[in-house]
Every structure is written in structure tokens, then in C-alpha cells.
Amino acid sequence: MKLQDALTHSSTKFPAILLFGMPGVGKGTQGTLLGTMRGVRHVSTGAIFRALDRNSDEGREVFSRIDHGKLVPDESAIRIWRHWVDDQVALSQYDPSREVLLLDGLPRSRRQCELLEEHIDVLCVIHLECEQIDPLIARLMQRGQGRADDSDEGVIRRRFDIYRQTTHPVLAYYPTSVVFSIDPIGSVMQIKKRIMEVVIPILNARGVLISEDETAA
């Protein structure tokens, strides 16, 4: 079924590709790059949360978690994300009939997977799979300027603990046939190419045609 048909027919579910992996593994870099392609809308929940007004009710709840390396509560995370998507549609920044969502940082717990069932149709999960956390911690400390949660090693280590305990089980929620492991070591363009090899056939099958220059590494 073509993307357009999928959306107009069955439901209001958004077709989505999940970009998954530990903090600092490169989800944001790859998401931003892939999001420049026609037909792909990159959405980072971390970026949505950091853009909230710290003094609003939502902002207070969110920053009290983020600043300490903890997850935003599941129901709030999904609600805020969904409002953001609806706003993007209303502002004509996202066209669900033509674009696939590339979700970066969502879902982050099994509960979020369940809550998302009514909102998204998961086309595939791109797992940027890395065994070693020390290089990632060093990378996060380097990018630290401007982000409170990247400046404190204790906060960073808590994020890895939460990833292991709460976020990693997300992988087992989805059928293995839609989960693709990608080696995140290499140049930005090498990693992009590995992801594109998985994503392009899936997008093409949904009626999103990617041109050759967009696929070039």
C-alpha cells in the first residue's frame, strides 16, 4: 500500500522509522542528516523538550527530569510529543500524507511503546548498536557546553543506567524482522550510507521516492 493510501484508508497512524541507541551514539547527527531528505521528517523528543519554556507547568516537569538524567514520565512524554506533531501539521511543517516520521529518542520505555501504538505504525527500528560506553561518555562530555545534562559525569552515567534498564528492552517489543542493527563506528557519511541501505527500500515501498543525489554518501 502506498503511503498516501495508508493514511487516508485505515487510520490516522503516522508511519514511523525509529532511530534507536545509547546516548551519544549519533542519533541526533544521523537524524538531522536523514531529515534533510524529501519524505523524511526528523523528530527528536530531547530537542522538543529542551525547547519548552522552563517556567511553564510542562517545562518545570520536564526539566526537573532532564537536568538529572531521568526520563520524562511516559504519559507526559507522549502527550507533549503528540501536541508538537499536531502543531507541526497545523503549521504545514509536516505533511503526514507525504512524509515518514524519523523518531529520535522515542520510545524510551516499554510503556511508551504501548502508548505509541495508537499514534504510529512502526516501519523499522534502526539500532545504532554500540557495546562500549566509555567513548560515548567522553563524546557527551565534549558536547557538554550548553546542555546541563551533558556536563555532569554523574548525570551522564545515570542516563546510561536508565538506557540499560528501561530503554534497551524497547528492542524486544518489536518483531525482530523490523529491527536492523547498524554499526555506529565510522565517518558520519559511512554511517548514513549504512542506514540508507536499510531505509530506502522501506521508503520506496511506502511510495516515498528518494532521488539518487539524496542517497549519495
- The binding site for ligand ADP (CB under 6 A) comprises 23-24, 27, 44-46, 49, 65-66, 69-72, 77, 105-106, 108, 112, 149, 159
The CB-of-41 to ligand ADP minimum distance in angstroms stands at: 16
The CB-of-36 to ligand ADP minimum distance in angstroms stands at: 19
Closer by beta carbon to ligand ADP, 7 or else 137: 137
154 Cα distance to chain centroid: 24
Closer by beta carbon to ligand ADP, 19 or else 208: 19
Q: How far apart are CA 142 and CA 77, in angstroms?
A: 27
Distances in Å between the alpha carbon of 29 and those of 24, 59, 97, 109, 115? Answer: 10, 25, 25, 22, 26
Closer by beta carbon to ligand ADP, 102 or else 106: 106
Residue nearest to ligand ADP (CB): 46
Q: Which amino acid is at 37?
A: M
Q: How far apart are CA 115 and CA 58, in angstroms?
A: 19
Nearest to 22 by CA among 133, 126, 110, 106: 133
Closer by beta carbon to ligand ADP, 82 or else 193: 82
Q: How many CB atoms lie within 10 A of CB 120?
A: 19
The CB-of-171 to ligand ADP minimum distance in angstroms stands at: 15
Closer by beta carbon to ligand ADP, 166 or else 181: 166
The CB-of-5 to ligand ADP minimum distance in angstroms stands at: 29
